[in-house]
């Protein structure tokens, strides 16, 4: 798997702690009338003193907003506030410590149960039983969010600790103490109380969309060109879009008919986007298809088959995902759209900042130089699918087979990988002492999937590195992925064990952990003792990064604009969405790609399947690449091991603040662009 796939994989395995459960259709009303709130505030000021007025007002209103009639009467509300507000610092410290201890016990142990329940699905332990799937579907987190409210634990946090908006965190956060940040993160956990049935509905919609994507395969041997030739081998079954894309990428190394195959894959993608693909070709090998003429035949014959297109399923799912989010909107009045929630809460970088960063990438003049360089290397003009050009590879000097041999000999099984963790970490620059410390906290399991890093959620528990090692030993591709996962694991250990407050554990958002994983992955040849300091290979990597980020930045912008369009046109529906998505993709193309490619009105940027179900996750991929370049620039003349630990133990601050403290500037694409400019000069 290429880094970009890993990224997606890692994102998909993120667990949402707070979902709630349904008790059927309960009837309750939400909120406490203003007069009752005011009366409560007055009684509390009378009891605790005027000097606490500000905290009291904030706390009462936070609790009132989320209080439901089934939590108690208005009198119960007032009594709760009077009984559970802490005004002495000593008591407040105790309350804060209790939250830290108990939430670590809750999340840490639930995570251990989750890991165990998923064990036989994730770890290669032999045949999977139906029972394993049942445990896999058992959601240990399902009741947690609602239980914390029902037990009034959440209300106690909200009564005593203010919730801050992203604006406030950015404005004041720089001057906050570590403890103050930890308190803000504690309150963040209880920001929204979304009714169980709304949450459940949303997650069912997402699961259905995920299943649609997960089963969208194309049988490549069933594709024929105008002469009836089959360009792809028998048995090749590729998932849309990433399997198709990776095959397209691989064909850059095929000098014979690689270009014909790429054009055919591109044609298939266009049919999928436009929903013109014959229904019979989706996850089915019983028909042959010419994607250019859109004719279909019964497989292996000249008999025409049913060519009716796939109904508008792709955009039906997309629209349902939008509806699922709309149902949530009213319960998050502070951030009343998914756009607000994604940027202000989950990612904590403002939408306009992300957009500016994407445009910084998309309008970099160096893209023109890289495009001309690619054309020279390909010996032809660029075609739209060259957004996935894969020819800047530094590994040319080692044939893949040779690397496979080296890796196989060194890592015959997962145990050998675990045993050598200290050595691997030392080659990356960690001291013996730190290498031992980390290795004691990371354990290696044989994986069913390509690879995965599962961090711990309580001190004393270990991070798990999952890697797939075939019977005859590890291969180079598996090794490359394992080193990526190790980057996650090292981050996970530092951000759990090294952070001073449990509430601050972790990194600001997913893009950051991916950036650390990429930093490791880039150094895989160092681990094998094969890296060269050749400026040529560094230049190739810089160009590869820039070109990959160019592609994903455009996709991110399409994703963001489509969501804006849906919120602007809530009455539209799936049919109009299909047309709008293609139009938006073409607009983004015309603005940022047509000047470089010399072709207009291309809609390829909306082929990403994750756009359908993940609700604007894609910009994190672009941000991850940009941050990686900033890290690399920073690590150039510094000690990687020391710096990584220093950065990680900051914990979960707001991203821009974290970045300032980490590398001395907010998130910016400048280092990536400048590295690409230097690279063009070297290679020209
Ligand atoms: Zn990853």
For the stretch 482-493, pLDDT in tens is: 999 999 999 999
> Cβ(623)–Cβ(667) under 8 Å?
yes
CA–centroid distance, 164 to ligand 1, in Å, is 30
The rounded distance, in Å, linking the Cα atoms of 186 and 354 is 26
Q: Note the pLDDT tens digit of each residue in 363-384.
A: 999 999 999 999 999 999 999 9
CA–centroid distance, 543 to ligand 1, in Å, is 21
CA–centroid distance, 2 to ligand 1, in Å, is 10
Give the range among 23-37, 69-83, 507-521, 633-647 with minimum mean pLDDT: 23-37
pLDDT bracket for residue 6 (50, 70, 90): very low
380 in a structural domain = yes
CA–centroid distance, 519 to ligand 1, in Å, is 11
Query: Is there a single domain that holds both residue 607 and residue 654?
Result: yes
Give the range among 23-27, 250-254, 392-396, 647-651 with minimum mean pLDDT: 23-27
Look at residues 550, 294, 263, 548 and name the one whose alpha carbon lies nearest to residue 385: 263
Give the range among 52-61, 189-198, 546-555 with minimum mean pLDDT: 189-198
Query: Around Cβ 95, how many Cβ atoms within 10 Å?
Result: 17
Which domain-ending residue is among 292, 315, 338? 315
What are the distances in angstroms from CA 343 to CA 360, 562, 613, 620? 18, 15, 17, 10
292 in a structural domain = yes
CA–centroid distance, 523 to ligand 1, in Å, is 15
> Cβ(43)–Cβ(660) under 8 Å?
no
CA–centroid distance, 32 to ligand 1, in Å, is 44
Mean pLDDT of 642-669: 97
- What's the half-sphere exposure (Cβ side, CA atoms, 13 Å) at 49? 5
Q: Scan for tokens 């997402």, then name that residue.
A: 206
pLDDT bracket for residue 646 (50, 70, 90): very high
CA–centroid distance, 45 to ligand 1, in Å, is 50
Mean pLDDT of 440-455: 93
CA–centroid distance, 602 to ligand 1, in Å, is 30
- Give exposure, 544-574, as e/b (b: 16+ Cβ within 10 Å): bbbbbbbbbbbbbbbbbbbbebbbeeeeeeb
Residue 375 token pair: 């054309």
Report whether pLDDT(25) > 60.
no
Which domain-ending residue is among 486, 501, 516? 501
The rounded distance, in Å, linking the Cα atoms of 504 and 522 is 28
517 in a structural domain = no
> Cβ(10)–Cβ(257) under 8 Å?
no
Report whether pLDDT(3) > 60.
no
Mean pLDDT of 291-296: 97
CA–centroid distance, 517 to ligand 1, in Å, is 6
Total domains in the chain come to 4
CA–centroid distance, 312 to ligand 1, in Å, is 32
Residue 410 token pair: 């060194």
Mean pLDDT of 532-550: 90
- Residues facing residue 444 across a β-bridge: 465
DSSP string, 280-292: GGTT--SEEEETT
CA–centroid distance, 360 to ligand 1, in Å, is 24
Q: Note the pLDDT tens digit of each residue in 96-121.
A: 999 999 999 999 999 999 999 999 99
> Cβ(527)–Cβ(476) under 8 Å?
no
CA–centroid distance, 485 to ligand 1, in Å, is 6
CA–centroid distance, 484 to ligand 1, in Å, is 6
333 in a structural domain = no
Q: What is the pLDDT of residue 667?
A: 96
CA–centroid distance, 10 to ligand 1, in Å, is 5
CA–centroid distance, 488 to ligand 1, in Å, is 7
CA–centroid distance, 7 to ligand 1, in Å, is 5
Query: Is there a single domain that holds both residue 618 and residue 656?
Result: yes
**Residue 295 is inside which H or E element, if any?**
strand 295-298
The rounded distance, in Å, linking the Cα atoms of 493 and 268 is 43
The rounded distance, in Å, linking the Cα atoms of 288 and 301 is 8
Please enumerate in sequence order all residues whose Cβ is within 8 A of that of 494, keeping only pairs 6 or more positions apart, or say none. 644, 645, 648, 649
Look at residues 422, 418, 423, 411 and name the one whose alpha carbon lies nearest to residue 444: 418
CA–centroid distance, 487 to ligand 1, in Å, is 8
CA–centroid distance, 146 to ligand 1, in Å, is 31
Query: Is there a single domain that holds both residue 62 and residue 151?
Result: yes
Query: 338 φ, ψ to 5°?
Result: -65, -35
Q: What is the pLDDT of residue 21?
A: 34
Mean pLDDT of 110-135: 93
Look at residues 579, 567, 624 and name the one whose alpha carbon lies nearest to residue 606: 579
pLDDT bracket for residue 9 (50, 70, 90): very low
CA–centroid distance, 453 to ligand 1, in Å, is 8
525 in a structural domain = no
Mean pLDDT of 224-247: 93
CA–centroid distance, 624 to ligand 1, in Å, is 10
Q: Angle 265-266-272 (CA atoms, 0-180°, nearest 5)?
A: 90
CA–centroid distance, 346 to ligand 1, in Å, is 18
Mean pLDDT of 453-474: 94
> Cβ(378)–Cβ(258) under 8 Å?
no
CA–centroid distance, 11 to ligand 1, in Å, is 8
Query: Is there a single domain that holds both residue 200 and residue 245?
Result: no
CA–centroid distance, 89 to ligand 1, in Å, is 41
Report whether pLDDT(20) > 90.
no
CA–centroid distance, 667 to ligand 1, in Å, is 19
Query: Is there a single domain that holds both residue 422 and residue 388?
Result: no
512 in a structural domain = no
CA–centroid distance, 3 to ligand 1, in Å, is 7
Q: What is the pLDDT of residue 400?
A: 66
Q: What is the pLDDT of residue 396?
A: 57
pLDDT bracket for residue 449 (50, 70, 90): confident
Q: Note the pLDDT tens digit of each residue in 566-625.
A: 999 999 999 999 999 999 999 999 999 999 999 999 999 999 998 998 899 999 999 999
CA–centroid distance, 452 to ligand 1, in Å, is 8
CA–centroid distance, 513 to ligand 1, in Å, is 7
Report whether pLDDT(1) > 80.
no
CA–centroid distance, 413 to ligand 1, in Å, is 22
CA–centroid distance, 579 to ligand 1, in Å, is 33
Look at residues 287, 166, 273, 156 and name the one whose alpha carbon lies nearest to residue 221: 287
661 in a structural domain = yes
Report whether pLDDT(651) > 90.
yes
Q: Angle 120-124-129 (CA atoms, 0-180°, nearest 5)?
A: 40
**Residue 322 is inside which H or E element, if any?**
helix 313-329
Q: Note the pLDDT tens digit of each residue in 389-398.
A: 998 876 556 7
Q: What is the pLDDT of residue 376?
A: 95
Higher pLDDT, 207 or 385: 385
Please enumerate in sequence order all residues whose Cβ is within 8 A of that of 366, keeping only pairs 6 or more positions apart, or say none. 546, 673, 676, 677, 680
CA–centroid distance, 489 to ligand 1, in Å, is 10
Report whether pLDDT(552) > 80.
yes
Query: Is there a single domain that holds both residue 438 and residue 289?
Result: no
Q: What is the pLDDT of residue 138?
A: 84
Query: Is there a single domain that holds both residue 205 and residue 220?
Result: no
Query: Is there a single domain that holds both residue 414 and residue 357?
Result: no
> Cβ(411)–Cβ(470) under 8 Å?
no
Query: Is there a single domain that holds both residue 307 and residue 275?
Result: yes
CA–centroid distance, 356 to ligand 1, in Å, is 25
Q: Kindly report the average pLDDT of the chain as a whole number.
A: 92
Query: Is there a single domain that holds both residue 98 and residue 155?
Result: yes
CA–centroid distance, 6 to ligand 1, in Å, is 5
Look at residues 140, 6, 2, 4 and name the one whose alpha carbon lies nearest to residue 451: 6
Query: Is there a single domain that holds both residue 427 and residue 383?
Result: no
CA–centroid distance, 78 to ligand 1, in Å, is 47
Query: Is there a single domain that holds both residue 30 and residue 148?
Result: yes
440 in a structural domain = yes
Burial classification of residue 527, based on how many CB atoms lie within 10 Å of its CB (0-12 exposed, 13-18 middle, 19 or more buried): buried
Residue 243 token pair: 């399997």
Angular region, 602: left φ>0, alpha ψ -120 to 50, beta rest: beta
CA–centroid distance, 461 to ligand 1, in Å, is 21
> Cβ(464)–Cβ(115) under 8 Å?
yes
Domain that holds residue 271: 216-315
């Amino acid at each position: 798997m290429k880094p970009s796939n890993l990224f997606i994989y890692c994102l998909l395995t993120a667990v949402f702690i707070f979902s709630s459960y349904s008790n059927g259709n309960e009837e309750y009303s939400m909120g406490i009338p203003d007069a009752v709130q005011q009366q409560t505030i007055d009684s509390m000021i009378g009891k605790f003193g005027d000097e606490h007025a500000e905290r009291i007002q904030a706390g009462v209103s936070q609790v009132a907003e989320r209080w439901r009639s089934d939590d108690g009467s208005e009198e119960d509300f007032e009594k709760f506030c009077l009984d559970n507000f802490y005004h002495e610092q000593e008591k407040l410290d105790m309350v804060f410590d209790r939250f830290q201890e108990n939430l670590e016990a809750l999340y840490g142990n639930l995570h251990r149960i989750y890991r165990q329940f998923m064990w036989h699905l994730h770890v290669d332990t032999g045949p999977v039983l139906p029972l394993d799937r049942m445990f896999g579907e058992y959601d240990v987190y399902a009741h947690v969010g609602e239980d914390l409210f029902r037990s009034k634990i959440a209300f106690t946090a909200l009564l005593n600790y203010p919730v801050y908006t992203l604006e406030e965190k950015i404005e004041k956060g720089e001057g906050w103490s570590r403890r103050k940040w930890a308190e803000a993160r504690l309150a963040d956990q209880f920001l929204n109380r979304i009714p169980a049935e709304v949450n459940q509905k949303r997650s069912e919609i997402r699961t259905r969309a995920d299943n649609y994507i997960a089963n969208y395969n194309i049988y490549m041997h069933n594709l024929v060109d105008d002469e009836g030739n089959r360009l792809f081998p028998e048995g090749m079954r590729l998932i849309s879009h990433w399997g198709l894309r990776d095959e397209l990428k691989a064909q850059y190394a095929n000098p014979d008919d690689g270009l014909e195959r790429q054009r055919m894959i591109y044609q298939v993608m266009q049919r999928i986007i436009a929903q013109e693909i014959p229904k019979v070709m989706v996850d089915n090998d019983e028909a042959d298809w010419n994607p250019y003429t859109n004719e279909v035949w019964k497989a292996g014959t000249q008999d025409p088959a049913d060519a009716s297109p796939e109904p508008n399923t792709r955009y039906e799912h997309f629209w349902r995902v939008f509806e699922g989010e709309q149902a949530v909107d009213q319960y998050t009045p502070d951030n009343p759209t998914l756009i607000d929630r994604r940027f202000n809460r989950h990612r904590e970088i403002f939408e306009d900042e992300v957009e500016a960063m994407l445009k910084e990438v998309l309008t970099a003049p160096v893209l023109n130089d890289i495009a001309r360089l690619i054309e020279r290397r390909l010996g032809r003009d660029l075609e739209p699918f060259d957004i996935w050009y894969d020819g800047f590879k530094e590994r040319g000097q080692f044939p893949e087979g040779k690397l496979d041999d080296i890796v196989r000999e060194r890592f015959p099984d997962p145990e050998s990988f675990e045993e050598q963790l200290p050595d691997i970490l030392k080659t990356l620059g960690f001291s013996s002492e730190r290498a031992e410390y980390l290795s004691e906290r990371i354990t290696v399991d044989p994986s069913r999937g390509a690879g995965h890093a599962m961090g711990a959620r309580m001190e004393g528990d270990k991070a798990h590195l999952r890697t797939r090692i075939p019977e005859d030993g590890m291969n180079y591709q598996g090794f490359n992925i394992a080193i990526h996962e190790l980057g996650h694991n090292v981050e996970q250990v530092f951000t759990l064990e090294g952070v001073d407050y449990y509430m601050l554990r972790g990194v600001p958002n997913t893009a950051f952990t991916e950036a650390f994983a990429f930093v490791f992955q880039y150094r895989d040849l160092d681990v094998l003792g094969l890296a060269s300091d050749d400026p040529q290979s560094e230049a190739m990597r810089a160009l590869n990064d820039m070109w990959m980020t160019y592609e994903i930045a455009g996709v991110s912008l399409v994703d963001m604009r489509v969501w804006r369009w849906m919120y602007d046109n809530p009455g539209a529906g799936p049919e109009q969405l299909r047309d709008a998505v293609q139009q938006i993709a073409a607009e983004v193309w015309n603005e940022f790609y047509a000047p470089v490619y010399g072709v207009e009105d291309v809609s390829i940027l909306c082929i990403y399947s994750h756009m359908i179900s993940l609700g604007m996750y894609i910009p994190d991929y672009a941000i991850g690449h940009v941050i990686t370049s900033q890290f690399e620039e920073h690590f150039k003349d510094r000690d990687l091991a020391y710096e990584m630990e220093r950065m990680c133990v900051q914990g979960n601050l707001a991203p821009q603040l974290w970045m300032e403290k980490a590398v001395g500037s907010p998130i910016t694409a400048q280092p990536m662009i400048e590295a690409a400019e230097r690279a063009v000069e070297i290679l020209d």
